[in-house]
Structure 1
Amino acid sequence: MNALMQILFTVGLGAAIGGYTNSLAIKMLFRPYEPKYIGKFRIPFTPGLIPRRRAELAEQMGKMVVDHLLTKDAIEAKLMQPALKEKIVMFVQVELMKWFESEKSVKEVMDKLGIDYLSVDNQLNRFIQQTIQRYFYTNSHMKVGEIIPSEWQENVEKKIPEVAEYILLKAQTYFASEEGKQRLTKMANDFLLNKGMLGGFAQMLLGNVDLGEKLQPELMKFLMHDGTRQTVTSVLMKEYENVKQWDMKKVEEYVQADAIASTISSFVKKNVTAPLWDKQLNELVASYKEPIKEKIPVLVDKVLQYAHRHIHEVLGALQVEQLVKEQVDSFPTARLEEMLLGITRKELKMITYLGALLGGAIGLVQGIVLLLIS
């Protein structure tokens, strides 16, 4: 009986020592978190192994992620998987449809996205102003005829006879009216008055004759004459040719760049941006919704192909190894311990149990040896 108790004692003691030493060794991987001192003397094995080698651990984890986990080949293979493309297409389509079916105005959507529509208006105005000013400055040495496209010039030349016809037609309409007749009378009387004695003598000879009534038919004949139409057309054509020889500096003397920019900005704001901000998003994209939805798979495929071709540059720009190192290095030691134990807790317990088992086996052997010796 004493022999059995002796063996059980040595087995239990060995198991306790083996289990405890393994458990202590595991704890010493992490604990203590900080170095401990007796006076100025640092106690050995403090801090624990992982806190002491924290920087090396962070560096090695960064290398492990880059070299064995987030590798270029692994990411390229993942990008080319049809299942991934299908998931991305479905996600983009669902999210886009939420926006496309929204009854909110463009202004409300922009507010939700943190975009100030007034700022967009101001930026657009500045863009128009800078573009017009830059255009005049860059082309200041060029002539109007060099800037205007030849097709436009041909169209203007074709329209000049019509403009001449329109001017003469408006003149005929005006001078055929009572107002036009009175204007002719006044012009004729003013003309004679300005001629002094000769004008007075002419008025005396004419007596009470209405000069407007006499001049009106003759003026109408003049306005309807083919020669008059040809003359007006010729004058307009000559002036048009003169304008084509102007350089942009001269054009700016008549029409200021700032005035042009202001006019264009006002037109855009009144007819484009102001109605756009108040328009409902679903109404705005109604005609584009289906075509965009159909193009999403193609766009996603192009994005994935681009990512596949440039994955090396992307990974280099992200500096994954450095990112992982910085993150691990910034973790509190307690959190790092929790993470590692969360992964290896079961295996570490088995190591503790194995230590107890080996200690118990050694105690059993020691008990038997002591019995044999005694």
Structure 2
Amino acid sequence: MELLKFLGAPLIGALIGYCTNYIAVKMLFRPLKPVKFGKATMPFTPGIIPKRKPALAKAIGNMVGNSLIGEEEIKGILTSDNMKEAVVSSISGAIENTIKEKSIKDMVSFVVDEHGYTDKKAAAVDYISNKIIEGVKDIDIAGIIMQEGTTAIKGMGGMLAMFVNEAMIASIAEPIGAKVDEYILINGKDLIQSKVQGEVTNLEEKPLSELVSLEDTNGISTVIREIYEKMLDEEIGNIVNAFDICAVVEKKINDMDIMDLEQLIMSVMKSELSAIVNLGALIGFVLGLLNLFI
């Protein structure tokens, strides 16, 4: 009986300390919403974390963005050899798969619709045809006929070479050359355009792997690496600023449901919060003991 009286005060103190700290820990998260009595709001509602969630989000965002993952850390990540290799490997792999599976038509169709593709194809055919016509016009057809005809006749030897001289060949070559030029001027574009149209149609359906060797991807990888390194050298500041880690973390926390936020905090601090509750019981017990001797 005397022992019960002796331990009564410490046990009651331990119970009070435990309950007080337990309620204090719970009040970090509970209640989730304000408790109203008419127009009046009950003090300490909602809980500290639900009430201060925006300020908590901003503080964590600033801590992460300014102290944990700052400008230098992001620069280090982007310029690391592992990141460079990952970027180059990813883009090179995508290019290889594209070369294996896609045709020229497929590639252009990524950029323009079907109507736009038809217009681009027609424009390409017309451009190539015009360039061929311009090239043909610059050829001295009469001069070629005369030169080749003279060479051929001289090569035959005999009487023909004695009677057919360069002047005679020129008199024949010039009107023939003029007729050829006239024919090309009138009908050449239609003939050439028809041939170019057929070649382009045949070419557009072929997979890129028939036009570009997969062995060339080593060169592509080198070009990609050079572009990436040059981009980092010139734009690293703008890239880092675009990340805005502070704002990203702040928004992420603000968008979290309060129950998810509680679960996140408890997953990290559950043992510490439990220790605080138990510490309250211990302090209450000790104070109860001290009260016996005062």
Corresponding residue for 2:11?
Answer: 12
Matched, 1:341 2:257: no
Letter in 2 for 1:269: T
- What is the CA distance between 1:79 and its match in structure 2? 3.4
Once residues 189 and 181 of structure 2 are traced to their aligned partners in structure 1, the CA distance between those partners, rounded to angstroms, is: 22
Asked if 2 retains the 8 angstrom alpha-carbon contact of 1:79 and 1:85, the reply is yes
Asked if 2 retains the 8 angstrom alpha-carbon contact of 1:36 and 1:43, the reply is yes
Asked if 2 retains the 8 angstrom alpha-carbon contact of 1:129 and 1:261, the reply is no
Letter in 1 for 2:118: N
Corresponding residue for 1:106?
Answer: 102
Corresponding residue for 1:367?
Answer: 292
Matched, 1:267 2:199: yes
Letter in 1 for 2:24: A
Letter in 1 for 2:119: R
Corresponding residue for 1:139?
Answer: none
Change (3 A) 1:70 1:163: farther
Matched, 1:161 2:101: no
Corresponding residue for 2:73?
Answer: 74
Once residues 320 and 260 of structure 1 are traced to their aligned partners in structure 2, the CA distance between those partners, rounded to angstroms, is: 59
Alignment equivalent of 2:119, drawn from 126, 130, 133: 126
Corresponding residue for 1:356?
Answer: 281
Q: TM (normalized to structure 1)? A: 0.58
Asked if 1 retains the 8 angstrom alpha-carbon contact of 2:35 and 2:46, the reply is yes
Query: Structure 1: which 5+ residue stretches go unaligned?
Result: 136-143, 168-223, 243-250, 370-374
Corresponding residue for 1:21?
Answer: 20
Change (3 A) 1:106 1:350: same
Deviations 1:122-144 (A, max 9, x none): 54432244568899xxxxxxxx9
Once residues 225 and 58 of structure 2 are traced to their aligned partners in structure 1, the CA distance between those partners, rounded to angstroms, is: 35
Letter in 1 for 2:204: T
- What is the CA distance between 1:338 and its match in structure 2? 0.6
Deviations 1:166-197 (A, max 9, x none): 89xxxxxxxxxxxxxxxxxxxxxxxxxxxxxx
- What is the CA distance between 1:322 and its match in structure 2? 2.2
- What is the CA distance between 1:366 and its match in structure 2? 1.3
Once residues 50 and 239 of structure 1 are traced to their aligned partners in structure 2, the CA distance between those partners, rounded to angstroms, is: 94
Identity %: 23
Asked if 2 retains the 8 angstrom alpha-carbon contact of 1:164 and 1:236, the reply is no
Letter in 2 for 1:352: V
Deviations 1:50-74 (A, max 9, x none): 1111111122222122101221111
Deviations 1:218-276 (A, max 9, x none): xxxxxx6744531354457779999xxxxxxxx8x98899x988874553122x112x1
Change (3 A) 1:294 1:118: closer
Q: TM (normalized to structure 2)? A: 0.71
Change (3 A) 1:350 1:91: farther
